Structure 1
């Protein structure tokens, strides 16, 4: 595919997304979903970077505003009203992320007296930690592109409230994390810990601290470092592998910015280089299992596009990562071992760009998230940057 053809596809797909969700033309009740919108913000910033057309920058800013005024406030079917933080209207406008942000699921959250139903829980609202970290990253990218620091500060405020709500100290000692919290962050809805949530938080907090300067999230970073220790990162889930590659790329950029590809800012020793090596090793073993599993030969009705596209997005960062660690022999060897899997990204993109495959129920049921993540895979630079 030529660069011009790719640019046209990216532009048209994002216009389709904007129309479907009430972003452009703007709708008074837009349909917002935090994970999808985090990627969409970065895609609009990427279009602005590529074209210089301020329309795309303005769409990114409008999307941020819609997310905060939709997912930062209580649902229309909730007896509670206003900002989920409990702040006044004026304070909420100034600090729209201080109460976290809702997922945007179709059903209300489970009531305290309601029994847990695993099937229903997937469609119930609340807050997901790994969605919040994606939004922190998107806000930071907005600050980087526009030069306005307020978006990074909103991300830092979100990091602080999310960390306080999602981490806890069990009686056995140490710290753990909840996977899903209630809309007001007062109670856990799913107490299990997400496999990569501590790593994702550690990297995202480090990204924000590097952008904001100082040691503003040093306590939270240290917490996450401790939770990460001894954790099992290995997975054969394509979305999980893509997340590992995304986090690895951000770690390397943070280290590059500090002038140290062997330690995280403000922390000496080999422990952090070991963590990065562990992330790369887990990604490599996961890719080997996924590539050998044969799922990419299945028909579209038996595949989930957004999970595969999460992998292809991560793979798009492997080349830049390998270049950045070239002077570190241990990391360079691990990065080079990942290069053999780069063609998988093309394979995944080509499959899901096929109009026949987009007729599958698995595509149509998740149309918006699939569309946005396909765009990110085709034009990943802004999403993969810090």
Structure 2
């Protein structure tokens, strides 16, 4: 697909998304979901970059505002009101991310007296660390594109709040992380640690640090660096593999000309991605009909694969990393194959598409126009 065709397709997808969720035309009670909205902000910024149409920049800024005023505040069905940070109205407006941001799930969070139900927990609200890091990235891109430092300051506020709440020191020593926290960040809802959350935190904090040009997140970065020393586990989930490639493309940009400083970490990430891709490609999943496939998970992989050109270029002078990157290049055609499959209107009739419509369409748009999402 040519850039003009991909831009047109991305524009159509993002126009539909804006209408469906109450962004444009604006609704009094828009439907906001943090993961999807983080990708959407980057998509609108990319469409602004490609077309020069300031309406897309304005949509990105309106979306940031809606997210903060929806997911930064308590739910309508909650007895609590106001900013989830507990700040006053005035302070909350100035620092909307200091209490983190809700996921945006349909059901309220689990009460203290309710038993844990693994299936039901997926539909309950709270805060996810890996959603917060995506929003930090979206805020950084917004700051870079607009030149307004307030968005970066909100990203740093969010990084500090998330790190303080999600990391803890067990009796055995060292740092660990919770996977899911309550809306007010006062208690863990799922105490296990996400496989790649420490890596995601390390890369995202480093991105913000580089953008801010200071050492404001030095302690947080050091904590995550220690958590990453155990290495990066391989998984065959396409969304997880795409996340590893997304982290890799950010690292090589943060490193600039000093990629060797991150050699051990990058080698671990690329090795894990290669093992996972070999497993996934050999599983036959991409030969299944749409009813047995999840678009947003596959599109996570295609987005990551769209960053391989940058990775290859940035590591070419490092033989060990270049060899690993070249091993991944042969999987790049999977990105176009995944995009073609989910662009097919017949495949979009499947329940696996319609049941996750907004996240599917936004991540398809990101894969078609990934520039802003894949930039630090």
Taking structure 2 as the reference length, the TM-score comes to 0.99
Is this contact kept in 1: 2:232–2:269, CA < 8 A?
no
Q: Name the counterpart of 1:76.
A: 76
Partner Cα distance (2:160, 2:288) in 1? 42
**Where in structure 2 are the equivalents of 1:1-386 lying within 5 Å?**
1-256=1-256, 259-263=257-261, 272-386=262-376
Is this contact kept in 1: 2:102–2:183, CA < 8 A?
yes
The residue matched to 1:249 in structure 2 has which SS?
helix
Deviation at 1:232, TM superposition (A): 4.2
Partner Cα distance (2:98, 2:276) in 1? 36
Partner Cα distance (1:262, 1:28) in 2? 50
Partner Cα distance (1:246, 1:55) in 2? 27
Partner Cα distance (1:136, 1:287) in 2? 27
Partner Cα distance (1:6, 1:154) in 2? 31
The residue matched to 2:373 in structure 1 has which SS?
helix
Render the CA deviation track for 1:265-301: whole Å, top value 9, x for unaligned.
Answer: xxxxxxx321111001100111111101100001000
Partner Cα distance (2:2, 2:259) in 1? 35
Gaps of 5+ in 1: 264-271
Partner Cα distance (1:254, 1:80) in 2? 40
Partner Cα distance (2:106, 2:126) in 1? 11
The residue matched to 2:260 in structure 1 has which SS?
coil
The residue matched to 1:384 in structure 2 has which SS?
coil
Deviation at 1:324, TM superposition (A): 1.2
Partner Cα distance (2:24, 2:189) in 1? 34
Deviation at 1:194, TM superposition (A): 0.3
Render the CA deviation track for 1:173-227: whole Å, top value 9, x for unaligned.
Answer: 1110000000000000000000000000000000000000111101000000111
Partner Cα distance (2:87, 2:32) in 1? 21
Q: How many residues align?
A: 376
The residue matched to 1:189 in structure 2 has which SS?
strand
Taking structure 1 as the reference length, the TM-score comes to 0.97
Is this contact kept in 1: 2:232–2:268, CA < 8 A?
no
Partner Cα distance (2:21, 2:161) in 1? 28
The residue matched to 2:330 in structure 1 has which SS?
helix
Partner Cα distance (1:190, 1:7) in 2? 39
The residue matched to 2:372 in structure 1 has which SS?
helix
RMSD: 0.7
Deviation at 1:325, TM superposition (A): 1.2
Partner Cα distance (2:258, 2:87) in 1? 41
Deviation at 1:2, TM superposition (A): 3.1
